[in-house]
Amino acid sequence: MEGTRYNEHSRLEILTGLSLIDTGTIPEDRIREYRQFGFRLGREHSGAGSVSRLQKVGAWYQTFMPGHIKERAKTVTGYLRLISILVGIMAFVTGAGAAGYLFYYDGTAPVNVLPVLTLFAFLPLLLLLLSAGYVWIGSRSSGHLPPIFRWIEGPVRSRIRKAVEDISGKADHSLKSELSGLRSNATEIWLVHSEPVRYFLKQNLQLAGTAYLTGALLWMLFNVITTDLAFSWSSTLEVEGEALYSFTQIISAPWARIVPSAVVDFNMVEATRYYRADRGDFQVASSGRWWPFIFMTILVYGFFPKALAFAWYRWRFIRTSDQAILASDSGSQIIGFMEDLLVTTKGDDDNNSAARAGISPERPVESSVNCVVLFWGLGGTDPSRIQNVLNRKVIFARHIGGLNTSEEDRNILLDSARLSQNSSHCDILVLIPYEESPTIRLEKKLHLLAGNSQSRIIIMPVIEERSRNCQANEINWRTRVDQINEAFGRKRVSLDTRNIIDSSHLTGVT
Amino acid sequence: MSHPVFVVTGAPNKGKSTFIKAMTNDESVVVREQARTTTSAKPYPFKIERAIGGKIDWETCFTLWDTPGFENAAEMHEILTEWGIRESDHPIELIRKFLETYAGHSDFVYELEIFKPIAGYACIIYVADCSKPFRKSEYLWEMELIKFTRLPRIAVLNPVDGDRHLESWRSGLTDYFNNIKVFNPHETTFDEKLRILGAFSHLTDEWEEPLNKVIGALKMQREKVLEECARIIRKTILQIFDREFSVRYDGIRDEEEHRVELVSQVREFVHKTMDDTQREITHRFGLQIDVAFDREFDDNDLFDTTVRRKNLSVHQRALINVMVGGGIGAAVDVAAGGLTFGLFTTALGVGGGLAAYFKEISPMDLVKIGSYDPDEERIQIDSLSPELGLLVINRLRQVVAVLYNRTAANTETVVIRKDLDLADLQNLGSLLKKMAVSRKDRYSEKNKQKLLDYIHEKLKEDRTVVKVEAT
């Protein structure tokens, strides 16, 4: 299917599009279409391996994403791409220009090897090593900002949080709700979108570096081919020829066997020393033989590391974009829609009646997506009844919290994590009493789950009846889920307020 | 312990702070819809004025501790049970050990706050929301922890959103608490608050006497506030009657135009004075609540004689007019021996009915215009109608009646929608008539005392008889 294929351009476009769409306002009949589409997609690919969730979202995007959002997403990604191309071109021209300056030889003073190597090989390598060290430091602590900014990150964030809380304290309910939504969106951007954006920037920086060195190498080759270049080495410091020779030996070690012609010998080093005031023993005849060494040095210590770094960041960008597409609120909602609504709806009942009446039902076959269901508290509910409510195959359902001991909970949580890991496309659904507020006890269980399973953890509210306090609790739960994700440093837990379960379905008492 | 100390506990977001705000009327208690509004234990001492050592001073009668909600009671209970308790020890010693061992531990950050004041042998008040279903698995461990302390404890059920689950809560809490009371901080009355305090006093013999003293003092304090309110209302009436209103005489305008300007002056002054009085009354009750009169009712009715006509609507007046007019017409027709063919009945009936719609009732009746002062070139009001005084008293009575039972927990604006029947103040009519007209009568000590007694009496009546139509 064409819609299931997308390159990284459309990946960026999908991510932008998902951040622009409000899935909460999608009408039920439209969602029904998504379900049918998801079902057809699964059936068409049943022979050729299952369709990944990412492919499903891609196909959904191509088919259902409203035109105006697609246009906006295209424009945004188009601009980003244009900026990348312009930066690449500018870097290329700058590299070529720098090479043009450094390799300029009008027959008087020969080209000095030392600044050429410094600018085109050692400096880019040093910068790359520094950035690698920087990544290493960054990976040892949480957060997305560079370490230097993290010192001020804490106080700034706590001030912003306090300001929002102060405003919330004085605001009416609708404003509170909006503030909570705003906070939630900010956390979503922070945890979900910031990582691919970071890698996108890094990828472009490395692209610029690679383009710069490509420009330099091509210009050098052009000069070597079209003009008669003379190289020398010259320094104000009293550097011995032997020392430089040793240095070149170390540098050329990686290619000494493969390209021996790109290794300089001691005589050549001695013969090409150049003093401005007194040309000394400088021998013009030997001076052209430096170029293969310079070329290889720039290639191996400048170009290759940059190109590798570019490939690495590009791969990371692709990975994190894919993760972000699936982890984003909109993305996970879309998947939820396509893999059947989690909770049985009235429409399904209608379809069941239609099937009983002999009318060909429109309902998709039962979802192949598995789930592990954990009941947080919810005393009086029967886990075996959950299968009647969910449109997914429940492979494990247990009570946690409530009257359980910590040890019992721990065992159940580890079993859940293991089962979800062993089963493909398996979500962990945590059913919570929506009337109650989230607690530290639950947070600890979620941390344990997230630490032992990579599956999506979805918090699903169970209510006895819709009351005014549920709205207040939505803010409480949303805020807490944001905080949990912030503590994880990435989005692991989501709150699904679209699929609210009526507790009577789980108790049998209406 | 010098005075009773209660620690208010419960699950998160169940109205613990609201309960404290209602009981203490302390505006500094922070109440929000969001959970985790209270993150640390904080004492709210309830103080009343007493003569201590020859001078009037504040005396703390009891202290309510506000605490965060239980968030990890299950694990705390598990640890305490694991440690076990020796027969000779009081469980509080074990709780103290827990507080020391787990000080600063993030898993028990809220439990540590809750049990810090409890470790001082306080009584425990457990607040629960009985509009939510009682799920034992949800609340068991916090109730077990409270029971574990072996301290006197009482449960207060707060029907935040109705009392659908009251019975299941009652039966669920019976094994854990010495007493269970229902208390809605938003809709409570003053007497209800005293009843709750009475229930607290029965928790322990030691605190029965001090709490009974508090109840007595609170009652006395309320009486004093009512008397003060009566004085404030009397002051307002005298201020309104005392005020001189005048407009510059303008030869081009007729008398009616001058009257309109004068009435508008009176209207503005009365509104402002009443606003000030409402604020003063609210302050006397120790509250920071806005009081407003329904906009439409406020703008029109104060000076509208419909009020004086026992709140008849225009349609009702039209009906009366039709009946009266028609009756007179019928009498004429009968007198004419039927020669008029019922013409008078029809004409007067219809005319009377229509008049109710077309004839605007003038508020001018409330203002008796005085003579023209040629020296000052001004026209002034001779006197205001005593009915204006009755209207003002009736409105301020309603404000007092609403605030009497209000607590700081309910911060919604009081909106009064309807006037009370003026007939309720009929005995005051002749007194106010005299006081409105004559300055001498206004400042006669005897009349002033009579007015004060009458208003005070009415305010006391209003406590028990609900006449107020307010939201």
Beta-carbon separation of B161 and A467 below 8 A = yes
Tell me the pLDDT of chain B averaged across its residues.
Answer: 83
For tokens 């600018």, the residue is A119
**What is the DSSP-derived secondary structure letter of residue A343?**
B
Residue A402, min C-alpha distance to chain B (Å) = 4
Question: In terms of CA atoms, which chain A residue is nearest residue B139?
Answer: A402
Which residues in chain B have Cβ-Cβ distances shorter than 8 Å to A433? 135, 138
From the list B70, B107, B135, which residue is nearest A444 (CB)?
Answer: B107
The mean per-residue pLDDT over the stretch A31-41 comes to 80
From the list A168, A169, A436, which residue is nearest B138 (CB)?
Answer: A436
Question: In terms of CA atoms, which chain B residue is nearest residue A444?
Answer: B107
At A469, the pLDDT band (50, 70, 90 cuts) reads: low
Which residues of B sit within 8 Å Cβ distance of A?
11-13, 30, 32-36, 69-75, 78, 106-107, 109-110, 131-133, 135-138, 140, 160-161
pLDDT at B411: 80
Best of A162, A441, A471, A479 to disrupt the B interface (most B CBs within 10 Å) is: A441
pLDDT digit string, tens, across residues A312-339? 999 999 988 888 888 888 888 888 788 7
Q: Cβ(A267)–Cβ(A87) under 8 Å?
A: no
Which residues in chain A have Cβ-Cβ distances shorter than 8 Å to B110? 440
Which residues in chain B have Cβ-Cβ distances shorter than 8 Å to A479? 34
Q: Cβ(B192)–Cβ(B406) under 8 Å?
A: no
Q: Token pair for residue A135?
A: 């990544």
Among A194-203, B102-111, B334-343, top mean pLDDT goes to B102-111
From the list A403, A468, A475, which residue is nearest B140 (CB)?
Answer: A403
Beta-carbon separation of B32 and A169 below 8 A = yes
pLDDT at A309: 92
Q: Which residues contact A508 (CB under 8 A, 6 or more apart)?
A: A382, A385
Beta-carbon separation of A401 and B74 below 8 A = yes
Question: In terms of CA atoms, which chain A residue is nearest residue B165?
Answer: A464
Whether the predicted pLDDT of A93 surpasses 90: yes
Residue A417, min C-alpha distance to chain B (Å) = 22
User: Which CATH number does the domain B5-203 belong to among 3.40.50.2300, 3.40.50.300, 3.40.50.1980, 3.20.20.70?
Assistant: 3.40.50.300
The mean per-residue pLDDT over the stretch B287-299 comes to 69
* A408 in B contact zone (CB under 8 Å): no
Which residues in chain A have Cβ-Cβ distances shorter than 8 Å to B137? 377-380, 399, 401-403
* A464 in B contact zone (CB under 8 Å): yes
Q: Which residues contact A40 (CB under 8 A, 6 or more apart)?
A: none
Q: Which residue has the higher pLDDT, B39 or B415?
A: B39
Whether the predicted pLDDT of B306 surpasses 60: no
Query: What domains are there in chain A, each with its CATH number?
Result: 9-222+310-337 (no CATH), 345-507 (3.40.50)
Phi-psi sector, A496: left (phi>0), alpha (psi -120 to 50), beta: beta
From the list B34, B78, B132, which residue is nearest A406 (CB)?
Answer: B78
Which residues in chain B have Cβ-Cβ distances shorter than 8 Å to A503? 133
pLDDT at A3: 41
Beta-carbon separation of B161 and A468 below 8 A = yes
What spatial distance separates the first Cα and last Cα of chain B, rounded to whole Å? 42
How many CB pairs (< 8 A) connect A and B?
Answer: 88
Q: Which residues contact B236 (CB under 8 A, 6 or more apart)?
A: B273, B274, B277, B392, B396
* A179 in B contact zone (CB under 8 Å): no
pLDDT at A367: 55
pLDDT at B100: 94
Q: Which residue has the higher pLDDT, A16 or A4?
A: A16
Domain extents in chain B: 5-203, 223-309+361-464
Residue B82, min C-alpha distance to chain A (Å) = 12
Best of B29, B33, B134 to disrupt the A interface (most A CBs within 10 Å) is: B33
Alpha-carbon gap, residue B11 to B382, rounded angstroms: 65
From the list B32, B71, B135, which residue is nearest A379 (CB)?
Answer: B135
Q: Which residue has the higher pLDDT, A36 or A75?
A: A75
DSSP A306-327: HHHHHHHHHHHHHHHHHHHHHH
* A172 in B contact zone (CB under 8 Å): no
Any idea which of A175-179, B148-152, B403-407 has the lowest mean pLDDT? A175-179
Q: Which residues contact B59 (CB under 8 A, 6 or more apart)?
A: B47, B48, B49, B50, B52
Q: Token pair for residue A434?
A: 């929506």
Whether the predicted pLDDT of B68 surpasses 80: yes
Which residues in chain A have Cβ-Cβ distances shorter than 8 Å to B136? 379, 403
Which residues in chain A have Cβ-Cβ distances shorter than 8 Å to B161? 467-469
Beta-carbon separation of A476 and B136 below 8 A = no
For tokens 């219809």, the residue is B350
pLDDT digit string, tens, across residues A240-264? 778 888 888 888 888 888 888 888 8
Q: Which residue has the higher pLDDT, B370 or B77?
A: B77
**What is the DSSP-derived secondary structure letter of residue A303?**
I
Helix (H, G, I), strand (E, B) or coil at A449: helix
Beta-carbon separation of B11 and A444 below 8 A = no
Which residues in chain B have Cβ-Cβ distances shorter than 8 Å to A176? 33-34
Which residues in chain B have Cβ-Cβ distances shorter than 8 Å to A440? 71-72, 106-107, 109-110
From the list B13, B109, B135, which residue is nearest A433 (CB)?
Answer: B135
The mean per-residue pLDDT over the stretch A111-125 comes to 84
The mean per-residue pLDDT over the stretch B368-395 comes to 75
Best of A435, A445, A481 to disrupt the B interface (most B CBs within 10 Å) is: A435
Beta-carbon separation of A438 and B35 below 8 A = yes
Whether the predicted pLDDT of B14 surpasses 60: yes
At A168, the pLDDT band (50, 70, 90 cuts) reads: low
Alpha-carbon gap, residue B99 to B105, rounded angstroms: 10
* A158 in B contact zone (CB under 8 Å): no
Beta-carbon separation of A468 and B138 below 8 A = no
- For CA atoms A248, A253, A256, A258, give the dihedral sign: negative
Any idea which of A297-306, B49-58, B279-288, B293-302 has the lowest mean pLDDT? B293-302
pLDDT digit string, tens, across residues B163-199? 888 999 999 999 899 899 999 988 888 888 899 999 9
Tell me the pLDDT of chain A averaged across its residues.
Answer: 79
Which residue, A219, A226, A266, A253, is CA-closest to A116?
A: A219
pLDDT at A360: 45
pLDDT digit string, tens, across residues B135-157? 888 899 999 999 999 999 999 99
Beta-carbon separation of A464 and B133 below 8 A = yes
Q: Cβ(B456)–Cβ(B227) under 8 Å?
A: yes
For tokens 């669920």, the residue is B172
The mean per-residue pLDDT over the stretch A73-90 comes to 91
The mean per-residue pLDDT over the stretch B59-67 comes to 91
The mean per-residue pLDDT over the stretch A350-369 comes to 48
* A196 in B contact zone (CB under 8 Å): no
Strand A426-433 with A457-463, pairing: parallel
Question: In terms of CA atoms, which chain A residue is nearest residue B110?
Answer: A440
pLDDT at A8: 55
Alpha-carbon gap, residue B70 to B91, rounded angstroms: 19
The mean per-residue pLDDT over the stretch A223-247 comes to 81
Whether the predicted pLDDT of A401 surpasses 70: yes
Which residues in chain B have Cβ-Cβ distances shorter than 8 Å to A438? 35
- For CA atoms B406, B407, B408, B411, give the dihedral sign: negative
Question: Based on C-alpha coordinates, what's the Rg of chain A?
Answer: 31
pLDDT at A166: 72
ipTM of this predicted complex? Answer: 0.70
